[in-house]
Amino acid sequence: MRKMFIFFVAFWVSFMTIYSIYYYKVQSKLDESIVANVKDLPHTVMGLADAKDSDKNMIYTEGVSQVIPALSPDTMHLIGSIPDTDFVSFNGTYTKEHLEKFYEGLVTKFTHHPPISFSNLKDGQRLLLSYYFENIRLPDGFRVSDKNINYRGHNIRALQYYLTPNTDTGTIFFYKNDQTHEFAVKVKFNNGKDELVMYNDPSSQNWKYAKTAADALMGNKASKCVLTKTQSVLIPEIDFNIVKDYDKEYVKNNPLLSGFDLVENRIKFKISPPKGGGPLEVNNSYNTATNFTMDGNVLYYIRQTDKLNPYCVIYVTNPEILKPARAHS
């Protein structure tokens, strides 16, 4: 009996040691680094979605095209270049010195970011990497909501905007059209240099249609409004970290990419409530609020405030890149 007990204790200690190593070294790395490959997301396109992909999420920035400008097709004049503060790239031969220089730029812009590892690469091979990294910290008025969103049958965690005395009304703008059940929220950030637009329309068919409709809605003075004390906006919380490896055949058949052994496009994107902004308090005013809920096709785009064209477009039709509902921390 004693031997069995000793064996059980030894087994349990070994198991917990292995589990701890896995959790803290593997799981924490996944939380901070790559959490998904595009090939593993059947309902998401990283790049321009065409007609056959009209029912999929679309995530697009200039990315690789920004590193090699000639890659950008003429039809893409609707998309601007990513600001340098949010972008790092590697375009050159794979050597220890070049990799260290890339890491220096990575951790300078994105503090505490873990190293990026590349498999099956040798010194002297050519690598092309573009990485767009953004965590938008929303201003006061936004909080993690106690109420979740039912998005395509999935329980999704939500951010809630509710007009409060501390809300900076100079950075948050709300628009709605009651007849078409469409609405938009525009938020300025980075000291007003950039703006995030979040738009919901049940009838939108693709991102271009949605963007045109969002711009028209925000351009109509009659659609601009201030929420009352019994109104709030529920927005699906978006948080993803994705890498796209370009197909070797695509690289081989594209003259501008000739000679590259690895071509990757990465995006890490998150929209967060204000620092210290926990769940909304449970009280009568919040419980009885009329919520404008973004549960249709939702468009997010970011642009510099003084520019017409966005530099990042995210069109969500499927919950796989949204934040699943869980207990509030």
Asked if 52 and 179 sit in the same domain, the reply is yes
Asked if 155 and 226 sit in the same domain, the reply is yes
Taking the complete model, does pTM exceed 0.85, yes or no?
Answer: no
Asked if 51 and 198 sit in the same domain, the reply is yes
Asked if 28 and 134 sit in the same domain, the reply is no
Q: Which of 290, 294, 318, 298 is nearest to 153 (CA)?
A: 318
Asked if 258 and 298 sit in the same domain, the reply is yes
Asked which of 3-12, 68-77, 122-131, 193-202 is least confident by mean pLDDT, the reply is 3-12
Distance, CA of 218 to CA of 204 (rounded, Å)? 16
Please say if the pLDDT value at position 100 is more than 60: yes
- Identify the pLDDT of residue 22: 33
Q: Which of 68, 102, 109 is nearest to 87 (CA)?
A: 109
Please say if the pLDDT value at position 21 is more than 50: no
117 within domain boundaries: no
Please say if the pLDDT value at position 221 is more than 90: yes
DSSP secondary structure, 28-88, as one string: HHHHHS--EEGGG-TTEEES---GGGTTSEEEE--THHHHSGGGS-GGGTTSPPPPGGGEE
Asked if 201 and 251 sit in the same domain, the reply is yes
Residue spans of beta strands (DSSP E) within 139-230: 142-144, 149-151, 154-156, 158-161, 172-177, 182-189, 194-201, 224-225
pLDDT tens-digit readout, 253-265? 888 888 899 999 9
Question: Are 271 and 136 spatial neighbours (Cβ–Cβ below 8 Å)?
Answer: yes
Kindly report the average pLDDT of the chain as a whole number: 81
- Identify the pLDDT of residue 282: 42
Unique residue bearing structure tokens 């007003």: 192
Asked if 277 and 259 sit in the same domain, the reply is yes
DSSP secondary structure, 96-138, as one string: HHHHHHHHHHHHHHSTTPPPPP-SS--TT-EEEEEEEEEEEE-
- Identify the pLDDT of residue 17: 37
Bigger pLDDT: 301 or 11? Answer: 301
- Identify the pLDDT of residue 19: 31
Question: Are 313 and 301 spatial neighbours (Cβ–Cβ below 8 Å)?
Answer: yes
The number of angstroms, rounded, from the C-alpha of 206 to the middle of its chain's C-alpha atoms is 18
pLDDT tens-digit readout, 25-41? 333 433 444 578 888 88
Asked if 181 and 230 sit in the same domain, the reply is yes
- Identify the pLDDT of residue 201: 86
Contacts for 66 with CB less than 8 Å, ≥ 6 apart: 72, 81, 82, 87, 89, 130
- The structural domain count of the chain equals 2
Please say if the pLDDT value at position 214 is more than 90: yes
Q: Domain limits at 27?
A: 1-32
